[in-house]
């Protein structure tokens, strides 16, 4: 590669990992937040649109539910279910289109849904979340 070609491509190479090119390209959970736990530019840009996130299904809070928690690493219990607790940057509330068929907590899954940001407490389960995927579907990754 010649110097001029490299200089012309350098900005694209620097920015490419920061933004997914398509909604079906999975993002990382931590990419939704800045270091101060405010929402990242990526999260704000994708709010209200469908995107894909890869992670692990935490054990459900209730049987026959459309709700589960997606975690960055396998967890055998619900990581944070109380308002006022520090919200980790590596979990995501997921509201599926249908009753969830539970996957083992250590099996990676790919979830696609509409990104929703802001504080919310589930009226049925009492689960507090700062970020959610609505109308979600998922499959093993």
What CATH number did the domain enclosing 25 receive? 2.40.50.870
Domain-located, residue 7: no
Query: Considering only 22-26, 60-64, 94-98, 118-122, which range has the smallest mean pLDDT?
Result: 22-26
| DSSP 8-state class, residue 6 | H
Identify the domain containing residue 50 by its residue range: 21-140
Q: Which of 33-42, 49-58, 82-91 has the lowest mean pLDDT?
A: 82-91
Phi first, then psi, for residue 29 (nearest 5°) are -55, -40
Residues recorded for the chain: 141
- Residue 119 inside a domain? The answer is yes
Q: Which helix (H) or strand (E) holds 10?
A: helix 3-15
Determine whether 70 is exposed, middle or buried from the number of CB atoms within 10 Å of its CB (0-12, 13-18, 19+): buried
**Is 11 part of any domain?**
no
pTM summary value: 0.77
Residue 28 near residue 1 (C-beta atoms within 8 A): no
How many distinct structural domains can be found in the chain?
1
Residue 45 resides in a domain: yes
Q: Tell how strand 108-121 and strand 128-140 pair up.
A: antiparallel
Give domain status of residue 125, yes or no.
yes
pLDDT at residue 48 greater than cutoff 70 = yes
> Is residue 63 domain-resident?
yes
Q: How far is CA 40 from the centre of its chain?
A: 13
Could you tell me if residue 41 is inside a domain? Answer: yes
Domain-embedded: residue 6: no
Q: Return all residues near 47 (Cβ < 8 A) that are at least 6 apart.
A: 115, 116, 117
pLDDT value of residue 60: 81
Q: Which residues pair with 27 in a beta bridge?
A: 53
In this prediction, residue 38 has a pLDDT band, given cuts at 50, 70 and 90, of very high
Confidence check: pLDDT of 22 > 60: yes
């Amino acid at each position: 590669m010649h110097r001029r070609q490299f200089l012309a491509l350098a900005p694209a190479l620097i920015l490419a990992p920061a933004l997914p090119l398509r909604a079906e390209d999975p993002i990382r959970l931590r990419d939704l937040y800045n270091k101060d736990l405010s929402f990242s530019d990526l999260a704000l840009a994708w709010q209200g649109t469908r995107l894909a996130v890869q992670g692990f299904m935490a054990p459900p809070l209730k049987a026959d539910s459309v709700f589960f928690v997606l975690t960055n690493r396998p967890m055998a219990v619900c990581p944070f279910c109380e308002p006022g607790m520090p919200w980790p940057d590596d979990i995501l509330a997921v509201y599926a289109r249908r009753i969830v068929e539970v996957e083992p907590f250590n099996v990676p899954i790919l979830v696609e849904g509409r990104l929703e940001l802001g504080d919310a407490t589930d009226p049925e389960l009492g689960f507090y979340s700062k970020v959610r995927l609505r109308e979600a579907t998922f499959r093993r990754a």
